[in-house]
Amino acid sequence: MGLVRLADTPLRGLNTFGIDARARLLWRLESLDDLPQLHQALRDDARSGHPQPPLVLGGGSNLLIADDPQQPIVQMALRGIRIVGDDGKSVIVQAAAGEAWDPLIRWTLSQGLAGLENLALIPGTVGAAPIQNIGAYGVELRDCFESLDAINLVSGTARSFSADDCAFGYRDSVFKHADGENWLVTSVRLRLSRTADLKLDYGEIRAELTDAHIVAPTPTNVADAVSRIRRRKLPDPAVIGNAGSFFKNPLIETELAAALSAREPGLPCWPSGGQVKVSAAWMIERCGFKGMRVGDAGVHERHALVLVNHGHARGSDILALARQIRGAVETRFGIRLEAEPMVVGAAQL
């Protein structure tokens, strides 16, 4: 098929929040050979006066559609995983942007490669992983990132990005800012190891392994443990619409963290690069939002960081609840929460 053009397309099945919305125009890219055609089609659409830049859609797992998007959508459907480098100790794996993230991890584990196990069961696609610098259980994508290939949807220029070029931060990269918003990631390369250096001391991983009577864990054991923990804590989007953690854990200065801890006993804090990361979930729960429901928009009963769609919430309903939560946390704690998902069709949170 290569490049597929769809007009007035329903998006409910293409975003994990399950928001009813429609795309004016959607292009599904299935082959790199069709990049020139896609670039020309987007240029023609822009000349017709339609909003730009296009919205790149992967698995729809880090997205809140507040209203019908008017910019064209590019859905990544590129496939392929292969080993492109091997020095005997480390291996470079290249995966196309449209590959699903968790199946990629399972493929690397089947090849005897370690490094991604703590990132198991994170929803979404490979192409979205560096944009968000996904992370979980003490590991971030940048820890095993080698490079990526991308094409500029405005100029048509292709280039590779190193880790420095990507400017990775906490759930952040150059692609989330003005200088990088026109780049379409087409493939990602990851440097993995044949020798496991397991990270077991974050969250409940070690306890989960102990409960399973595993004393000498393998990377696959760790991935399985992380998956079980995530399934217990986070709701399945196939059952109830959500985008995982909606807010980032804020990074604050040490002095403010000390003052807050004195005033708010029990506030979870973790040192992080000269600053302190504090628990957004804890603050949201202390403000009384855990389990709250406003119409079909709500906060999950087991995890205060997860906003949910109980069935027929509009994107604007989820956004209104998020703003209410942010205001309450800022009033009580003096900290302004930042959303993880991209908000489309409305002003940012």
Active-site residue numbers? Answer: 171, 245, 340
Calculate the alpha carbon distances from 174 to 8, 155, 166, 167, 181 in Å: 31, 17, 5, 6, 8
CB neighbours (10 Å) of residue 211? 11
Cα separation, 237 vs 123, in Å, equals: 9
Calculate the alpha carbon distances from 299 to 50, 200, 281 in Å: 35, 29, 11
Spatial neighbors of 239 by CB under 8 A, at least 6 apart, are none
Tokens of 4: 């597929």
